Amino acid sequence: MNHPNPRSFGAGPGPAPGPVSGTAPVPSHAQGPATQGSAQGPGAQGSGGARTDGGDAVVGALQAAGADYIFSSPGSEWAPVWESLARRHRDGLPAPRYLDLWHETVAVGMATGYALVTRRPQGVLLHAGPGLLQGSMAVHGALLAGAPMVVASSESSTYGDGPGPDPGGQWYRNLSVVGGPHGFAAPWVKWANEAGSISTVVNMVTRGAEIACRAPAGPVYLNIPLEVLLTPWTEHPIKPVAQPGSTVSAPSEIEAAYAVIAGATNPVIVTESVGREPGGLAALVEFADALQIPVVEPNSAVCTNFPRNHPLHAGGDLEPFLDTADVIVLVNCRAPFYPPSRRPARARIVVIDEVPHRPHIAYQVLQADLYLEGGVTATLRALAQRARTDGVGLSRFAQPRREAQAARRSADHQALVESEQKAAANPNTIDPVLVAARLRDVLADPAFQPAQGTPDDPVIVDETITHSRVVTRHLMRGTPDSYYYVQGGLGQGIAVALGVKLAARHRTVVLTIGDGAFLYNPVIPSLQAAKAHDLPLLIIIFNNNKYLSMKMNHLRFYPQGAAAQTGEFLGVDLSDQPDLARFAEPFGMHGETVDRPDGLRPALERALTAVRSGTTAIVNVRVSR
């Protein structure tokens, strides 16, 4: 497929970045007259007498849905959309900004990162069935991450045998899919359908956007045949999509749950994704503080949910609590126990989640005793308020909880300090812990903060595997939207980080990634997007020259096997990789490789300086394990 020269197109500058919390304002272009567009016969005319068609319907519907951007890895079916955008730009009419991108994973991944920060659905255009398949891993990642978007591609409904413009022989020979691409998209999106008529395309797009942003948020897919895109359509103002309403747990349910939680002697909170809820992190802090309950963020956490430096943060391992807790509160926690049948010894389980049973999870066990299925942020605040008005119920429990958690925190902090000291003691090799600790220190160093204005609040996007616990434990992120773990298959991290940066241009965005994951990424299209759209990233590669997770799993299944005896571990060796930092060179970016501890901090400082000056930097760190 030949791609046009990449540029971003729009009627004006992109949307203003959201506040530090990451919640961007509703764009002004979403406002308009409350009249629905409709289809008309041949010869439909738009502004200036131009012919309007299904491409205009798609653009208008995405505009009404509040999409700031259309992320596209383009195919020839989208000429009607391109014509609509060209006409809108010529005539000074509003439209979502359009980004041409060189790979489907980049288009979907950027939409994911952008939606994670803004929490608004964006448009993604891919090419037919093959382009959708190429982007499918990233679409599935968006589903797991809870990133709303409307993904669309096309097919032909006539294969050249119908009236009207000729769609082209490629649809007949190469691009057709039996049952339509919406058939194979269905398992990895929230909703998949075909817009088979110009009469339904607008409402299909806007309804898709509404489904995408409701809990649990995620991608939807729409197959829009080329013949529909080319069908004449009379342009009318399209009613803007309304914001979703809120759900509230009944007061009696709140009271019942409060009685269970407040009466516990050793409760614990577990959360994976409350930070994805607007105001969720602050509400969880308020709730935990009010009842003095420790909070566990398990290794399955997808974002920042609770400040790592908060006295009530109890680390990432629930196992120590399973036999001692008498109440476990699961807050937006889809998979708290492993194996799923692992039952707590005596705890009652309270689940606080708007959609506790995720439809896209094949097997899920929560062991629940009580559900609160209202809006999570509002529910947590209601429980906190109830605790503050309870003058008696907590007094005999609060102090023992504080003391027990203080002892846990002290031991955890001491272990963290000792691990960093041990990592720094070796003058010849770089331990991954040292990388995370030095990166944390450089990002916090006042010398690298902006001279004026709000201090930087960096965002970490993590696509490591064997080093992910090191990253979360030692980087200590604690503000809203300051950490995201890339969901689904490896190979999306750079694109997701670019989308985060697009939504939060005022923040430094750092991608931590293993060498294996880096090699899975479409590196050249991703770096091109970073340069073309002025999205500088700090990319830190934890490079151990291997797929370490492959070896670990081999040994887990065959600890005394032939490979353990001979050292022949297949699927592991990456020692013949090129110098990954040199991928920066063709794009005029900053790149360097570090293999000694004394060179680590200076390299990180040079890289951060480059990023703050507007240039992506790649630091390839050769780690010892």
171-189 residue pLDDT tens: 888 888 888 899 999 999 9
d(CA 49, CA 54): 16
Q: Where are the alpha helices (DSSP H) in 460-520?
A: 468-475, 493-503, 515-520
Sequence-ordered list of residues with C-beta below 8 angstroms from that of 444, at least 6 positions apart, any chain: none
Q: Which two tokens stand for residue 588?
A: 């005029």
What is the per-residue pLDDT across 87-102, written as a single tens digit (0 to 9) for each?
999 999 999 999 999 9
Q: Give the mean model confidence (pLDDT) for residues 521-535.
A: 98
**Which residues sit opposite 122 in a β-bridge?**
149
Topology, domain 251-409: Rossmann fold (3.40.50)
Q: Which residue has the higher pLDDT, 14 or 581?
A: 581
Q: Give the mean model confidence (pLDDT) for residues 448-469.
A: 88
In which band, very low, low, confident or very high, does the pLDDT at 391 lie, cut at 50, 70 and 90? low
In which band, very low, low, confident or very high, does the pLDDT at 431 lie, cut at 50, 70 and 90? very high
What are phi and psi for residue 535, nearest 5 degrees? -125, 75
Q: Which two tokens stand for residue 353?
A: 């989640």
d(CA 202, CA 54): 9
What CATH class is the domain 8-229? alpha beta
d(CA 581, CA 521): 14
Cα dihedral: 441, 615, 67, 520 (round 10): -80
- Would you give the DSSP letter of residue 469? H
Asked whether the domain spanning 428-622 has the same topology as the one spanning 8-229, the reply is yes
pTM: 0.91
Topology, domain 428-622: Rossmann fold (3.40.50)
**Is 195 in contact with 208 (CB distance < 8 Å)?**
no
* Residue ranges covered by each domain of the chain: 8-229, 251-409, 428-622
